[in-house]
């Protein structure tokens, strides 16, 4: 199987996991259990994970995955962004949907999907990324919402999920042109709020940057687990808890803090809409072609 077909296979599995997520993201269901089931769905198909499944609710836009001892459940009025990706070697999947548990926000959720569809129809080699952002912004504002201006799509290159081109959700003036064969995600984030996200104090996801020589036993153990199981791909604190069952949450956080201080790990704080607005997201991964594109995160 050539790399393009392998990439399409990874994309298809990612999309299947996204569809599966609709069966476990339910009112009253545990976030921790839902994340585990979605990640197990991917692993049972023989794939790794591009990153921990994100289950970002309401004004949380991105980077929320359940914690080590997370007891929270989905509420009846929650708007849940499910963002995930399967991985095969260094081929990474990435896609997202928004699930409205209230049933009262169909227009809001559909606007994100419509903006994504409109943007995908523009994609081909030579198109400036600003034009994609302009189209997303037009669709979103016509429906009375705002695009989130400091989030967007991205290039995907090798082991890097966010590499190369940034694909904006508004016309940011960037004249960078898409290239044939380039792999990108288009990722409209929309809100009924201000349209900008900020970092919160909550962090559940990390990624190794450089090796370190930590002093504490906890940090050394954690680094060994990262090197063995996660390499340079993002991981969740709850994964470390599973891998080192005898280590307390305090010990894990202390070890992680030491590795961060040493410059070994990058942190991914939960991103929240600055004004408290609700956020919806839609995302697909695709390959840029000469005259169109191939969407790979689909059935």
Residue 2: CB partners within 8 Å, gap ≥ 6? none
Active site residues: 83, 94, 154, 162, 187, 283
The predicted pLDDT at position 50 comes to 97
Residue 209 has pLDDT above 80, yes or no: yes
What is the rounded average pLDDT of the residues 97-105?
96
Domain 3-199+273-295 top-level CATH class: alpha beta
What is the rounded average pLDDT of the residues 160-184?
94
Q: Is the domain defined by 201-270 classed in CATH 1.10.10.10?
A: yes
Q: Among 149, 231, 235, 227, which Cα is nearest to 195's?
A: 149
Q: Where are the domains of the chain?
A: 3-199+273-295, 201-270
Reported as a single tens digit per residue, the pLDDT across 44-100 is: 999 999 999 999 999 999 999 999 989 999 999 999 999 999 999 999 999 999 999
Using a 10 angstrom Cβ sphere, with 0-12 exposed, 13-18 middle and 19 or more buried, the burial of residue 19 is exposed
Residue 216's SS3 state is coil
Percent of the chain with pLDDT over 70: 100
Task: Name the average pLDDT for the chain.
Answer: 96
DSSP assigned state of 158: T
Reported as a single tens digit per residue, the pLDDT across 13-55 is: 999 999 999 999 999 999 999 999 999 999 999 999 999 999 9
Residue 269: CB partners within 8 Å, gap ≥ 6? 63, 199, 200, 201, 202, 203
Cα distance between residue 188 and residue 281, in whole Å: 6
The predicted pLDDT at position 82 comes to 98
Using a 10 angstrom Cβ sphere, with 0-12 exposed, 13-18 middle and 19 or more buried, the burial of residue 279 is buried
The predicted pLDDT at position 1 comes to 60
The predicted pLDDT at position 299 comes to 72
Number of helices and strands in the chain (H, E): 7, 18
Q: Cα 55 from chain centroid?
A: 9
* End-to-end C-alpha distance for the chain, whole angstroms: 18
Cα distance between residue 16 and residue 38, in whole Å: 10
């Amino acid at each position: 199987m050539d790399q393009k077909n392998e990439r399409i296979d990874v994309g298809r599995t990612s999309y299947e996991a996204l569809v599966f997520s609709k069966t476990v993201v339910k009112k009253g269901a545990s976030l921790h259990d839902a994340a585990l089931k979605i990640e197990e769905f991917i692993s049972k198909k023989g794939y790794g994970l591009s990153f921990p499944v994100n289950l970002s609710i309401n004004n949380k836009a991105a980077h929320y995955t359940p914690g080590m001892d997370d007891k929270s459940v989905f509420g009846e009025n929650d708007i849940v962004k499910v963002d995930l990706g399967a991985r095969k070697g260094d081929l990474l999947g990435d896609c997202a949907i928004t699930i409205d548990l209230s049933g009262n926000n169909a227009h809001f959720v559909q606007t994100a999907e419509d903006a994504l569809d409109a943007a995908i129809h523009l994609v081909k080699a030579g198109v400036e990324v600003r034009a994609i952002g302009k189209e997303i912004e037009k669709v979103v504002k016509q429906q009375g919402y705002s695009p989130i201006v400091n989030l967007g799509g991205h290039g995907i290159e090798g082991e890097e999920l966010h590499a190369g081109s940034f694909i904006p959700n508004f016309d940011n003036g960037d004249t960078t042109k898409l290239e044939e064969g380039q792999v990108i995600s288009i990722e409209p984030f929309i809100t009924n709020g201000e349209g900008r996200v900020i970092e919160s104090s909550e962090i559940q996801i990390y990624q190794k940057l450089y090796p370190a020589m930590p002093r504490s036993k906890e940090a050394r153990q954690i680094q060994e687990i990262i090197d063995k199981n996660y390499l340079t791909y993002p991981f969740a604190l709850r994964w470390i808890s599973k891998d080192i069952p005898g280590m307390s949450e305090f010990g894990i956080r202390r070890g992680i803090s030491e590795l961060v201080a040493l410059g070994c790990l990058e942190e991914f704080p939960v991103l929240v809409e600055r004004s408290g607005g609700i956020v919806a997201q839609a995302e697909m991964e695709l390959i840029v072609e000469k005259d169109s594109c191939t969407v790979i995160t689909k059935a």
